[in-house]
Structure formats: C-alpha cells, structure tokens
Amino acid sequence: MTNLNKDNIKKIFFTYFQPTYKGKLKDTNIILKILNELQKEPPPTSTLVIKKINSYTQNKIKLNVSNIKRIKKIAQKNGLIKTQKLNRKITKSKEKYLKILKVNIFNFPPYARGGQKAASINDRYSIDFKNPKGKTKIPEHLRGVQFYKTKNDAKKAIEEKQQFTEIFFKKADERFKKNLKIWKLY
C-alpha cells in the first residue's frame, strides 16, 4: 500500500475515473481510505467500512455494500490487499447424520410437517439417517428420521447402521473385483 499514489489508483480503479461514471467514488483519497480500512485485522465487514467512510466524509458520500465489495474484489485481484480467510467451522453434510438428538416439540403430531414421520408420546431421542432416493437395500428402520425411547436403543441403531454399511461395501467391493477379472478377460 505504500507504493500507491493517485496515478496508480486511477490506473487500477479506472472505471471510477471515466467520464461516463456517475457515482461518487471519483476521489482517490476515499478509495485509499477504503483500502486502508479493508487491510485491518480482523477483516471488517462492508457495513463497518461504510460507517468509517461516512464518519471520514461527514456523511457527504452515500455508499452501499456493493461499492465496498467491488473495491475489495479489484484490490484483491491486483494484490493490494491480502485475501483473508475467516476461521469458520465448515460442517460437512455427513456430520449432521447419525447423531443422537433429543426429541423436541416439532417432532410431535400437531407441529410435525406434512410427510414427515411424527414421534410418539414415549419417544425421547431421534436419529436422522440418510434417506436414499430410488431403490435401496437399506432396511426401513435404518432410513430417514427414526425415534427411540432410550439412548441405548439409539446407540444400538447407530451401531447396526454402521455394521450394515461395512458389510454392504465389503460385498460391493467383492462384486467389483469379480467383475474386474471378467472385464480384464475381454
């Protein structure tokens, strides 16, 4: 950022300095201020940058989030600011399945959505198994949302599902190897 002067900013952000541009970002000092704000740690949101710029310009320029995002994108593309990665926990779709959850009010008949399985009065725990589409060899009691009276019953169901998948994939692997031998003959 130290090698940025007004000429460099006009070259990099040339669209803001063309005669056809009708916005309010024609001032190089404002763009420099936006770039300085975007470099701070932790990376600020676009609304925080807008608040800082509004206080800097005494609310003379009205900016919106898209202006800041556009400047940020151009600056990252030209290496003026670093792309900062946020430390967010990324949850995989697999992680939401096979977890023992407590049954809540929305699992019972008046509140359960149409087409969903509803819990009975004695059920306390639920497990969301994946619900495959089309034909499947997975037993009915190991598909979709299932409800259990005790936590031990739920744990046994998870173990049964894991054993079923291990056996299923072993058989599938054996069939694949058998077919592979046949395919190699041809």
pLDDT digits (tens, 9 = 90+) for 23-62: 878 888 888 888 888 888 777 888 888 888 888 888 888 8
| Pairwise CA distance, residues 30 & 16, whole Å | 12
- Percentage of the chain with pLDDT > 90? 13
Of 61, 70, 59, 55, give the one whose Cα is nearest residue 26.
61
Give the start-to-end residue ranges of the domains of the chain: 6-77, 93-185
Q: Which residues contact 128 (CB under 8 A, 6 or more apart)?
A: 96, 97, 98, 99, 101, 144, 145
Question: Phi and psi of 73, rounded to 5°?
Answer: -65, -45
pLDDT averaged over every residue in the chain: 83
Q: What is the pLDDT of residues 98-113, one digit of tens each?
A: 889 999 888 888 888 8
Whole-model pTM: value is 0.47
Q: Are 10 and 28 in contact (CB under 8 A)?
A: yes
Neighbours of 146 (CB within 10 A): 20
Tell which residue, 62, 87, 44, 86, has the closest CA to residue 35.
44
Residue 105 has which token pair? 């009010």
Closest CA to 30 of 7, 8, 56: 56
Alpha carbon distance 22, 16 (integer Å): 8
Q: What angle do CA 22, 26, 32 make, to 5 degrees?
A: 145
Contact 141, 122 (CB under 8 A): no
Half-sphere exposure of 70 (CA within 13 A, CB side): 12
